[in-house]
Structure 1
């Protein structure tokens, strides 16, 4: 993973000093709330319903164990003993004291972490596949390219005050596990007929109040021009993006208004002035960054499938867990493991200080001292030896990480909702828990199979409800909390946006509604069909008829 040089470290330390003084002046009444707002947002600080929330940057979801232990210490010393994994692979603290935020940032700086540009109208954390660098279906490791984008975009003076926030995702594999089609810019690594590396470029995706699947505007961008082309897109957005209405300020609105062809023409025209300029990448720079992402010291191992199959026969719980929570590795004898943060009774994505310390210990012993966060709000140990998998499973069970539900209904994405967020129309966490409790039969969950259930507390869509196979949105109806259900969303390749099922439901109805939807799927599916496949084949009407049958 990337390691700061002396310049990086100095920049972060100077930012801490700067923000400490800004916070002091605000608390002393020398800065108004309106003056302080853009300063705190550029440092990841939100004012939520009951307390400040601090969002910590985790570039492309990659952490070392020293950093994880620091997060655990901060959770103990400055928060209520836990942290939250966000859908942009970052960490959040929901209960810090405002006057202690500069101290937290100073603590983070000691382990090469910060909260810069995790909020505000700027380029946010660039995200990627949680299995980057180890996935067997990978064309290229996307992490060096994410790091190049991070270094280019952090403190970029031209793009510090965009019309709205801006999100970039990079995919380097055959499968799209980075959800690039619902990002402001999505980058897919490709090779041309000559075997040269480049990127397929998408713009104008996004969720929120007006969701769109983005449009690919360039089929092959040579890697040398990655930054120059990104600059051209951002310049067009900065010039033409709306600033009079924040609800219509995202780049997706601009692309829709101009049309993808006209937008692409404007980008090409701007790029003509930039493509051979100082932002053009050279091989030496790519090699410099790539050296931070070399493979760890893998051993020459044999595949352990037979031995693991014997253990599965003796331990059905291990068999279930291995089926759901492990992912094939590019190296024989290794496997990637997902630690589920979705046990029943826990807010999805929450992790305690003790669990953070335990994760760090596990990563040191089993995965070369590194771990990842995913946009599905789980944690990954990417480089586990297969012959240590059974021992690891037992340790994960002891620490609450072995729920065998990755990819299943209870592995839901869920924003903090009205329990924390001042923007939310409704609570998300109680709905998630009620559904988890209704579907607590593992045999039934395994029979249902792969399904994405995503919950958002408001139209900002932090819970990605637009791309859930089943999406739930909290809405306000005359001061009361209700929930709108949508079906058919998908965040992978050939992404689709969910369609609203019909009128909204009261909170206590939600487990019954989800159960009826699942019953339609189970009754209608063919062999090996996932929920999204059945939905696309039969459409929304059979689900609507079953769910609203009592109203007819």
Structure 2
């Protein structure tokens, strides 16, 4: 039995005050216990990552919330019946900056807002009353009628803008909401459209731009692409993914689709027993957390490619991390699971059968350019001509003229490439010079200088609300200066210019990649538009694939960028070893030569 104070007559001493050190220690312990309890709660709840497969469909961020209220594709009805009649200011935010993307529409940046305001202003302060519109062209395939129609729409509704993106499609700008229904009608009348050109959906499917015509091709992937489009694009089954999903196919023995940085890629190979099919890659992606995709080591027969594609995108839908947008890409699932588990889940839970082992695709050699610029013979005896608009910039009038040139020589096939190039196919041998000269009159060269040929750039601050830096004009200045300085450069040097950290222009895999940000101008002491530099990125080389080298605290200003490229190029030419590619040199040399 315990003894009470009354029974013993003893008095309870007053509690002593805790010392400052003890108080701090007690607070630290309480904070630690709180963190432990919160971690345990996160561990024991299905909602910790927002994975549908874990049983939780609770919307965990504003994007997931608006997607949970209905299929975002349904916004088209409101575009056509309400907003196009009532005007821009009738559009509610979740449609304007959310669901509109499912139909290829983004508000563009209001003119006059400098890069320093990008991360400070609210979305409505950055919005202009005009839209960027992406026209979906899977595999970059356009007929003459389609190219002409996009060009006419550009001239009539888009102030002549028509940029070739590195997703093999055309982007228009200055589009008014009042004109969108008519643009939808006219693009769909020629077999195009913008359905799921953007949004948390399967985006435009990349493919080799010489599919069906290449002399080296193992297989034409067009039937597989068309099957996926017919079965799944626009289907509610996949119109609510955690984020975007990027697909690529190639029939070339050396892949020309940047397969290592796609969510899923099918690369043509020849199996010694099963014939020609595809090698499967998953989980690649760039942006602020770049990751190379994993080769699963399995062989996919062409007739089941759509089933395998459906299985992989279903894994992403069900197991993707929906809580944080920054982790809502397939690459994070692959990183958590590893290739072995990923393949096992794909086979056991989604396919119901095992895929046989298969060979890897060939790796690139220094002579494998992969951009298809120049004059090349097709397997049917005709020819194709590939040209390089500087950083993908053309115009509606030029696009119409390209269509006319193709039509004048009996061609009905125009292709866009993943490197912002344009091809005209099916040219009779005796008309090749007519095409070359016609395109040259449009400043579209089939034999451009090396920097002209190898520069790509994203939209940049001119139109993009995420951008900090100008890109297209900066890329043009690089081309102008560097092709004059190095007119006979014997080894290609790729230059990729991106306006923000999101890497739409793939800066991490360029020889010289520029990632837009504000930097300190040493002369003025002020923050000015500039770039972080990545050097020596390389793909297509198997185990030698790597992202570009970054040097600590190394930045260049926007104005100083052409001079920097000139200096580094000269250092490369002065100190390279025989036949050494720029990427190898950039990783080998001391920092002084690449600063």
Question: Normalising by structure 1, what TM-score?
Answer: 0.81
CA contact (8 A) 1:136 1:330 kept: yes
Query: Which stretch has the larger CA shift, 14-23 or 166-175?
Result: 14-23
When residues 400 and 141 of structure 1 are mapped into structure 2, their CA distance, relative to the original with a 3 A threshold, is same
Distance 1:407 1:372, change over 3 A: farther
1:381 equivalent to 2:424? Answer yes
Residues 105, 114 of structure 1: 8 Å contact kept: yes
1:93 paired to 2:167 = no
Shift of 1:116: 0.5
Matched, 1:329 2:378: yes
Q: Which residue is equivalent to 1:229?
A: 308
Q: Give 1:404 deviation, angstroms.
A: 2.4
Give SS of 2:441's match. Answer: helix
* Aligned-partner Cα distance in 2 for 1:36–1:437: 38
How far apart are the structure 1 equivalents of 2:201 and 2:249? 18
Report what 2:92 is aligned to: 32
Residues 401-460 of structure 1: CA deviation (Å, up to 9, x unaligned): 226227645531101111110011222123212212211328x24324322211111122
- Indicate conservation of the 8 Å contact 1:409/1:453, yes or no: no
Contact 2:411 2:424 in 1 (8 A): no
Check whether the contact 2:389–2:421 (CA below 8 A) recurs between aligned residues: yes
Q: Partner of 2:388 in structure 1?
A: 340
Q: Does 1:256 align with 2:335?
A: yes
Q: Secondary structure at the match of 1:42?
A: helix
- Render the CA deviation track for 1:177-220: whole Å, top value 9, x for unaligned: 11111100011122322243332111111111111110011421
Paired residue for 1:349? Answer: 392
Contact 2:451 2:482 in 1 (8 A): no
Matched, 1:160 2:160: no
State the superposition RMSD in angstroms.
Answer: 2.6
Deviations 1:498-531, CA, capped at 9 Å, x for gaps: 1213411111221121112111221233444432
Alignment: residue pair count: 479
Q: Map Cα deviations across residues 30-60 of structure 1 (whole Å, 9 max, x no partner).
A: 7622145433111000012133111111121
Deviation at 1:18, TM superposition (A): 6.0
The aligned residue for residue 194 of structure 1 is 273
Secondary structure at 1:23 match in 2: helix
- Residues 1:406 and 1:137: Cα distance change in structure 2 (over 3 Å): farther
Larger Rg: 2
Q: Per-residue deviation at 1:227?
A: 2.2
Change (3 A) 1:349 1:160: same
> In 2, are the aligned partners of 1:409 and 1:451 still within 8 Å (CA)?
no
Q: CA deviation at 1:331?
A: 3.4
Paired position in structure 2 for 1:482: 530
Indicate the residue corresponding to 1:471 in structure 2.
513
> Do residues 545 (structure 1) and 592 (structure 2) align?
yes
Tell me by how many angstroms 1:477 deviates.
4.4
Q: Note closer, same or farther for the CA distance 1:213–1:407 as it changes in structure 2 (3 Å cut).
A: farther
SS in 1 for 2:518: strand
Q: Quick one: distance in 1 between partners of 2:469 and 2:189?
A: 38
Unaligned stretches of 5+ residues in structure 1: 1-12, 277-322, 343-347
The answer to whether the 8 Å contact 1:367/1:381 transfers is: no
Aligned to 2:556: 505
Report if the CA contact (8 A) 2:388-2:445 is conserved: yes
User: Per the alignment, in what secondary structure is the counterpart of residue 256 of structure 1?
Assistant: helix
Q: What corresponds to 1:394 in structure 2?
A: 437
Are 1:428 and 2:471 an aligned pair?
A: yes
Question: Per the alignment, do residues 74 and 275 of structure 1 end up closer, same or farther by CA in structure 2, a change over 3 Å counting?
Answer: farther
Q: CA deviation at 1:117?
A: 0.5
Alignment partners' CA distance in 2, 1:97 and 1:272: 44
Match of 1:59 in 2: 138
Q: Is the 8 A contact 1:340 1:406 kept in 2?
A: no
Q: Residue 173 of structure 1 corresponds to which residue in structure 2?
A: 252
- Is the 1:472–1:485 contact (alpha carbons within 8 Å) kept by the matching residues of 2? yes
Structure 2 distance, partners of 1:67, 1:120, is 23
Structure 1: how far apart are the matches of 2:373 and 2:576? 21
Whole-angstrom CA distance in 1 between matches of 2:88 and 2:406: 43
Deviation of residue 161 (structure 1)?
Answer: 0.8
Unaligned runs of 5+ in 2: 1-72, 111-129, 356-371, 521-526
Q: Distance in 1 between matches of 2:90 and 2:531?
A: 43
Say if 1:518 and 1:96 are closer, same or farther in 2 by CA, change over 3 A. same
